[in-house]
Amino acid sequence: MAGEWTIRELARKAGVSRKSVWAWIDAQGWARPVSGPWILDGERARLVLERFEQTAPLRTPREPVPCSIEGCERTRAGLQDMCKMHYQRRLRTGRTERSSGGDWQTAKTHCPAGHEYRPENIYRFPSDVGTRRRCRTCRIAQSSVSKKPS
Ligand SMILES: [Zn+2]
Ligand SMILES: [Zn+2]
In the chain, where the domains are located: 4-59, 64-98, 100-147
Q: How many angstroms separate the alpha carbon of residue 123 from the centre of ligand 2? A: 11
Ligand 2 centre to CA of 110 (Å) is: 7
Record: fold of 4-59: Multidrug-efflux Transporter Regulator; Chain: A; Domain 2 (1.10.1660)
- Walk along the chain (150 residues) and give the pLDDT tens digit of each residue: 568 899 999 888 888 888 888 889 888 888 777 777 788 999 999 999 888 887 665 555 566 788 888 888 888 887 788 899 999 888 888 888 776 554 455 456 888 788 888 889 888 877 776 767 888 999 888 887 766 565
Question: Which residues are within 5 Å of ligand 2 (an ion), measured at CB?
Answer: 111, 113, 115, 135, 137-138
Residue 59: the pLDDT is 54
At residue 125, the pLDDT reads 77
- Which three-class secondary structure state does DSSP give residue 75? strand
Q: What is the largest CA-CA distance in the chain?
A: 84
- pLDDT digit string (tens) for 22-58? 889 888 888 777 777 788 999 999 999 888 887 665 5
24's CB contacts (< 8 A; 6+ apart) are 48, 51, 52
The reported pTM is: 0.37
- Predicted local distance difference test score (pLDDT) of residue 44: 92
Q: How far is CA 103 from the centre of its chain?
A: 29
Cα–Cα dist 27/38, whole Å: 14
Measured at the alpha carbon of residue 46, what is the angle toward residues 41 and 52, in degrees to the nearest 5?
130
Q: Are 134 and 122 in contact (CB under 8 A)?
A: yes
C-alpha of residue 57 to centroid of ligand 1, in Å:
22
pLDDT for 45 equals 92
Give residue 97's identity as a one-letter amino acid code. E
